[in-house]
A and B are shown apart, each in its own frame.
Chain A
Amino acid sequence: MTDKVIYAMYDDDDVTKEACQSLVDNGVHVADVFSPFPIHGIDPIIGIKHTRLGIAAFMYGITGLLLAIIATRYFMVSDWHGINIGGKPNFSYLENIPSFVPILFEFTVLCAAHGMALTYFLRNKTLPGMPARNPDPRTTDDRFVVEVRLAENSNFSLDQLNDMIKETGIVEIDEKTIK
């Protein structure tokens, strides 16, 4: 199924935000916005759901914490039972827990951070070497692009959409047919 897509380019984040607001007010559905940096407050305007990355990070953190507990318990208490480090023989995990807290903390952070980064890359399809999905390379530099799809705006014709977009403070407009 082919679809027409309009890419409207802006050169300021506030103008982009206002443009999105006015389009949404007219009943247009904005598919996406490409920006070199996060624009505060644009998510609710174009109706992007709140990210679940935080929940994922929490899960990775818990996983890391559990793995670290199992590992330190096995290395320091089960396998090398009672090894005496600094006059504190590891006979009991609970009694010696303060000496394991740093590694528990570090491993939790390691798992949460790496898991979160990998999830982010995978979900956005931006792992190193993957083809870029932004419509214009300048959106990684100093330009902002608003993407409007015709199929998602069945109430409007292509010309109506073009007219509405041209009323906002665009610097360029482009139309593409995608498969």
Chain B
Amino acid sequence: MEFQISNKAKKVTLGLMGVGLLLLIVGFFFQKEYLFPTVLSDHEVYVEYWGEQGEKESDVKAEAQEAMAALGYQLDFGDEGEEHQNHGHDAAEEHGEEHSEEAHAHQSPTFDWHIHIKHLEAEGHDARAAHGHGHDSAPSESLAAMFTNGDISMSDSHFRRFWSNLLVNGFFFFGIALGALFYLALHYATESGWGVVLLRIMEAIMSALPLGMIILVVVFIAATLGLNHIYPWMDSDVVAHDDLIWGKVAYLNKPFFWIRIICYFGVFAYFMNWFRKTSRNQDSEDVEKATASHFLMYRRGALFLVFFAVFSSTMSWDIIMSIDTHWFSTLFGWYTFSGIWLSAMIMIMMVTLYLKHKGNLEFVNSSHIHDVGKWMFALSFLWSYLWFSQFMLIWYSNIPEEVIYFVTRIESYKFIFFAMFVVNFVLPMIFLMSADTKKSWPYLIFIGLVIFIGHWFDVFCMVMPGTLFEEWNFGLLEIGMFMTFLGTFVFLVLKALGKSSLVQNNHPFLEESKHHHG
């Protein structure tokens, strides 16, 4: 029952990592910072910019002028004229309200233009008529679309997309390893017998915990040093001007944040190491000693669950919920946890099927696979239940400071936000309801992979609307980074599988698990 990572698996995972890294690097240089247009009339657009790159104003002006020249228009950037002052001021006020949630530090835009669109003089009256009436949309609409699409934009000096994606992937893969650790502890604490033959797979998955931890720590250090602005409460300027955040300073401050993070990661890493070490030692112990080790793990498992019950909630507040600092939800910890647990269960299923396919797991029968399938089905429901509970309560009560969370998501992330929910809820419900599909490899692999990606998008929807607002994008950077993480994670898991026998020979319930019949 030994397993060594095959050359093919090595090539595939490392290849995934390499290609992902390549895409990531290419994508890295296409990060944009957007300008926000408001269409005032067919020939007037108000554009504002809230970032810190005011010196690039003339470059962007030239770019916009060039783009519109191609369509046969000329732009007049309303300079310090009186008209501009009035219009600009009105629009700024109007727009400023809409953006008040996002504009953390800035009271007014860095620069704003009141653009008048004119026809190029070279073109005659005919051309003017053609442009004026022949087009589907007014020139101001086309110009606004260019700003909204990011065709005319600045390169992002803060690399917000990069940092946000690092947080998304770091948390997602950290969550999978943590979910496996949680399930292992649960398995010991409840003295379960059925899954003993799968424990080594859980051990291997939780061994990849440091990957997520290191990435998260990098993100946190960068945030603390001000290299990214993921957590608005870390910016003292923002806190000073924000009563709501000021009220939360007792909990959300840098030193306490770091104490908590060190606490969580220390405890998780300690238990992960301890379980792995004890279980590996158990393989070479005599029966009496091995049984004693088992009961020790049983007690430690229960102890871990106590820590996890508290830490999983507060951890999700600290790492994810505090991005939208004004917002809070008491259900959030559970909602995040259910996603973590489900992703871990899918990973356990996929690794089990892979090893079974390779012929390494002679004791795993269809009942074990059926039971993991049941977990996937049940946890999909737990997740959907919690997602909907959170949504419904906030939607119904409609309290501005709560509902803003869903307003930003529905306004700018409508498709992925709802598609993600429908996929993660309906797909498992329809296809994993029957006992036969929960044992069928093609179904499990297909549904498993789809909802695995679905839950990645769940984390995406938790993070992005709070860090990138409507400036999000999905491209090479996102795909590349996901591939890099997936490749590295699977490589680490397969590598860890080779470090010990695939069966815990001295586990007291091994015999029961071998004869498991669901």
- A residues lining the B interface (CB < 8 Å): 40-41, 54, 58, 86-88, 98-99, 101-102
Contacts and interface: CB of A to CB of B under 8 A. Distances in A.
A40 B194 CA distance: 13
Given A87-B398, A88-B396, 19 more contacts: A40-B517, A41-B517, A54-B434, A54-B435, A58-B433, A86-B396, A86-B397, A86-B398, A88-B398, A98-B388, A98-B391, A98-B392, A98-B395, A98-B396, A99-B392, A99-B396, A101-B388, A101-B392, A102-B392
A99 B391 CA distance: 10
A87 B435 CA distance: 44
Nearest to A99: B396
Contacts of A87: 398
The secondary structure that dominates the A interface is helix
Nearest to A98: B392
Contacts of B391: 98
Contacts of A40: 517-518
A40 B517 CA distance: 7
Contacts of A54: 434-435
Interface in B415-450: 433-435
A30 to B, nearest CB: 18
Interface of B: 388, 391-392, 395-398, 433-435, 517-518
Contacts of B396: 86, 88, 98-99
Nearest to B516: A40
Contacts of B392: 98-99, 101-102
A88 B395 CA distance: 10
B500 to A, nearest CB: 30
Contacts of A86: 396-398
Contacts of B395: 98
21 contacts: A40-B517, A40-B518, A41-B517, A54-B434, A54-B435, A58-B433, A86-B396, A86-B397, A86-B398, A87-B398, A88-B396, A88-B398, A98-B388, A98-B391, A98-B392, A98-B395, A98-B396, A99-B396, A101-B388, A101-B392, A102-B392
Contacts of A58: 433
Contacts of A102: 392
A147 to B, nearest CB: 23
A46 B403 CA distance: 58
A37 B517 CA distance: 16
A46 B98 CA distance: 70
B392 to A, nearest CB: 5
Nearest to A100: B392
Nearest to A41: B517
A88 B391 CA distance: 15
A99 B434 CA distance: 29
**In the complex, the 4 A-B pairs of residues with the closest C-beta atoms, listed nearest first:** A41-B517, A98-B392, A40-B517, A98-B395
A41 B366 CA distance: 13
Nearest to B518: A40
Contacts of B388: 98, 101
A40 B512 CA distance: 12
A117 to B, nearest CB: 20
A101 B384 CA distance: 12
Nearest to B388: A101
B407 to A, nearest CB: 15
Nearest to A86: B396
A86 B399 CA distance: 11
Contacts of B518: 40
A110 to B, nearest CB: 17
Nearest to B397: A86
